[in-house]
Amino acid sequence: MPSKNPVRRLEDILDNIGLIEEYTRGASYDSFVPDRKTQDAVERCLARISEAASKLESSAEALIPDQPWSQIRTIGNIIRHEYDTIDALIIWNIISKDLDSLKGSIEAALEKLRRQSPNVT
């Protein structure tokens, strides 16, 4: 069953993107690779993003069709079940190339949802 509160799930995704931004501010790939604490923190945030996307089900695609929701959901399964195969470069590419687009799309969707239903928080 899809989430009864898509605003909450989208906010969860934004919160975790914000945490990733905080954890990696000023970092480079070369400083990220040996930093296991930051890698673990980022992976945990990505898992939560994935879970929120899963709870959105098809409403994610309806609200924000320009994002790769299937891949967003899949990364959580990889982190949980194939943790020993995670490539730091793939995680870094998500951080450096994909999160800004996701963040912008979610912010726009939240603004639209809040305009349509001002009492939704």
Say how far apart CA 50 and CA 33 lie, in whole Å. 22
The 3-state DSSP class for residue 94 equals: helix
Q: Which residue has the tokens 């989430």?
A: 3
Residue 2 has pLDDT above 70, yes or no: no
pLDDT at res. 121? 55
Per-residue pLDDT band at 117 (split at 50, 70, 90): confident
Q: Is residue 120 part of a domain?
A: no
Q: Is residue 41 part of a domain?
A: yes
121 belongs to a structural domain: no
Q: Which domain holds residue 109?
A: 6-115
Give the contacts of 50 (CB within 8 A, at least 6 positions apart). 72, 73, 74, 75, 76, 77, 79
**32 inside domain:** yes
Mean pLDDT of the chain: 93
Whether 53 is covered by a domain: the verdict is yes
Domain count, the chain: 1
Residues 6+ away with beta carbon under 8 Å from 62 = none
What is the CA angle 63-113-71, rounded to 5? 30
